[in-house]
Structures are given as structure tokens and as C-alpha cells.
Amino acid sequence: MEILEGIAPIADRYDGYVLDLWGVVHDGKRPYPGVPEALAALKARGKRVVFLTNAPRRAWFIQGMLDRMGLDRALYDGIISSGELAWRMLKAKDHPWFARLGPKAFHIGPERDLSVAEDGAAVLVPEASEADFLLNTGPDPDRGSHDVSRYLPALEAAARHRLPMVCVNPDRHVMVGAERLICAGALADLYRPLCDDIFEVGKPDPAVYGPVMELLRITDRTRVVAIGDTPHTDLAGAQRFGIDALWALTGLAQHAHGENPSAETLREVARHEGVEPMAALRALRW
């Protein structure tokens, strides 16, 4: 597998860039070195840039996070998040799986994720016995972000009432700084043997790319590339939708394979995951 040092060699091959956030643009705390400069170079060439993240918060909330990291809004054209899409689906109830849900949700996750339920998308209740469905946005401060088994009692309570689960982040793990933390997808894996009625909102579901293409305003998929650090979500999602993908060797990829993985190692991992990225990318830099 070819390993690119930066995006300059392929920049003019594409008009639209679909970028994962955690692990590609930033580490959960600050942008990676060279990212603002790379985005500025793309924008100077008239490219469209949209962030597509499995974060379980609405787009306005994520934009505020990027603001606090110092990432200029002029460097990108929009944000689509799992939280934004889940909010839309809970509000509209036009998807068959969501149409059957009642309004009351038993929430597992931190308070910062509650934008998913705002404006009447869901009514939060304190007990599983009162709920129509389980809203899973990931680990909370009380039970922590390292040991998934601490969530088993709450999941068992939800399963006793056969609550369908809306999983608002299909990621199993994420890197925040140097820490590998669990995400909502890890809780979904724990819930599945108890109750298999689960809808995961986000990559790798190809349906999430429709709203992204609307923001990009590009109809030719051959002129769009996705960049992500996770094969089974970022790369698989792009492949299922029919756009090229670059495998960023930062974030979870660096945690799993080290700072300087060989092309052969990457080729074997990609084969095992069933994905075919056009190349690997050392980091999102020019």
C-alpha cells in the first residue's frame, strides 16, 4: 500500500474532502500539527471540506468545540455528525425503525450529549421501566470511559424491558490525547446479546453520506475522497458509498500499528477488514 506523507500529491484529484474529526483533524484536545495549514491550502484551491464524525452531539455543539480548539470556521464548509443525524431521525420519525419509537428515552451517556434530545426529539426519563427506548451516547463521568462492564447493570435493566437501543456513535473506541477510551459502540456490543434491537447511527452506514454530499454540493462521487483513521467505520463507510478513501495513520491507527507501520502491515490489515483505501496518509498535512 502506498503511504503518502501529506495530501499535496493528490489534492487536485478531488473537489470534495470528507474528513473524520477525532483521530484525523484533532486528538480530542487540539488540532494535529499541520492540519490548519493543510485545510487552508485546500480552501485556497477552491476545494470543499466537510467534517463527518460519529460524535454523539449535534453539529452546532461540535462547531463550538472546534472554535475552542482555535480551528477557523473558514477552513471547512460544514459538519455532519451522528448526533445531528440521530436528532433529525428522532424528530422526523420517517425512518421505519424510528417510526415505532415512543417519545420517552432512558439515556446512557454524559450530559454534554443531550443536544441529541433537544427540541422535543426525545423526553428523558430516569428509569428504564418508564422508557420507550434506550438512548446510548456513550460513557458518562460516573462510570468512566475505560471499563465497559460498569454499564452492564443499566443495560440489563433496559433489556428486561426490551428497550430498542439508538446507538448514537458506532465507534467502539476513540483516542483522546494518548488515552484510548470506549465509545457508544462498545456499549452496543455489550447490549446485543441481551437485546438485539439496535440501530447504530453513523459510519459505516452509507446513508450518512447523503447529507454530506448536500453540503459538498458535488454530484460526481469520483471527485470526492474521505479521510479517516478507522478501517471498519471511516474506510468501510466510504467504500460502501462509492467514494475513494485515504487511511490516516494518526489516532486509532497510530495506537494500533505504531508511528511507522510498514506498507505490508497496512495492506494485510486492510485485507482483513475488507477495505481497499487508495493509499495511507501519514497525517493530514500538506
Instruction: Tell which CATH architecture fits domain 3-54+204-281.
Output: 3-Layer(aba) Sandwich (3.40)
pLDDT band at 31 (very low <50, low <70, confident <90, very high): very high
Q: Does pLDDT of 175 surpass 80?
A: no
Mean pLDDT score of the chain: 96
pLDDT digits (tens, 9 = 90+) for 37-57: 999 999 999 999 999 999 999
Angle, CA of 76, 82 and 86, to the nearest 5°: 130
Listed by start position, the domains of the chain span: 3-54+204-281, 96-200
Assess contact for 185 and 170: CB atoms under 8 A: yes
3-54+204-281 matches 96-200 in fold: yes
Record the cell numbers describing residue 191, joined without a space: 447490549
Q: Tell me: cis bond preceding 204? Omega within 30 of 0 counts.
A: yes
Q: What's the whole-model pTM score?
A: 0.94
Record the cell numbers describing residue 243, joined without a space: 467514494
Query: CA nearest 87: which of 49, 46, 116?
Result: 116
* Identity of residue 190: L
pLDDT confidence of residue 255: 80
pLDDT confidence of residue 90: 98
Query: CA nearest 72: which of 113, 44, 114?
Result: 44
pLDDT digits (tens, 9 = 90+) for 74-129: 999 999 999 999 999 999 999 999 999 999 999 999 999 999 999 999 999 999 99
Fold that domain 96-200 belongs to in CATH: Rossmann fold (3.40.50)
